[in-house]
Homo-oligomer: A and B are copies of this chain.
Amino acid sequence: MKRLTMADIAREAGVSKGAVSYALNGLPGVSDKTRRRILDIAERHGFTPNSAARALTGSPAGAIGLVLCRPARTLGVEPFFMELISGIEGELSARSIALSLQVVKDHEAEIAVYHRWWAERRVDGVLVVDVRTADARLDAVRRLRLPAVVIAGPADFDGLPSVWSDDGAAITEAVEYLYALGHRRIARVGGLPDLLHTAVRTAAFQEVCARLGFTRAETVLSDYTGEEGDRVTRRLLISADRPTAIIYDNDVMAVAGLAVAQEMGVSVPGELSLVAWGGSLLCGMVHPPLTALTRDVAGYGANAARRLLTLLEEGTVDSYQDTTAHLVPRGSTGPVPSRPARRR
Q: Restricting to A268-286, which residues have a CB under 8 Å from any CB of B? A: 280-282, 284-286
Q: Does A56 contact B (CB under 8 A)?
A: yes
The residue of chain B having its C-beta at the shortest distance from the C-beta of A112 within the complex is B46
Q: Does A100 contact B (CB under 8 A)?
A: yes
CB-based contact B96/A285 at 8 Å: no
Interface size class of A (residues with CB under 8 A): 35 or more
The residue of chain B having its C-beta at the shortest distance from the C-beta of A54 within the complex is B52
Cβ contacts under 8 Å, A72 to chain B: 83, 86-87, 89-90, 298
Q: Does A192 contact B (CB under 8 A)?
A: no
CB-based contact A144/B76 at 8 Å: no
User: Separation in Å of the A330 CB from the closest CB of chain B?
Assistant: 12
CB-based contact A76/B285 at 8 Å: no
Q: Give the docked Cα–Cα distance between A262 and B288 (Å).
A: 9
CB-based contact B281/A258 at 8 Å: no
Q: Give the docked Cα–Cα distance between A39 and B280 (Å).
A: 49
Q: Give the docked Cα–Cα distance between A122 and B78 (Å).
A: 30
Cβ contacts under 8 Å, A342 to chain B: none
Q: Does A259 contact B (CB under 8 A)?
A: yes
Q: Does A79 contact B (CB under 8 A)?
A: yes
Cβ contacts under 8 Å, A145 to chain B: 1
Q: Restricting to A51-80, which residues have a CB under 8 Å from any CB of B? A: 51-56, 61-63, 72-80
* CB within 8 Å for A48 and B119 given contacts A226-B284, A255-B286: yes
Q: Restricting to A222-243, which residues have a CB under 8 Å from any CB of B? A: 225-227, 229-230
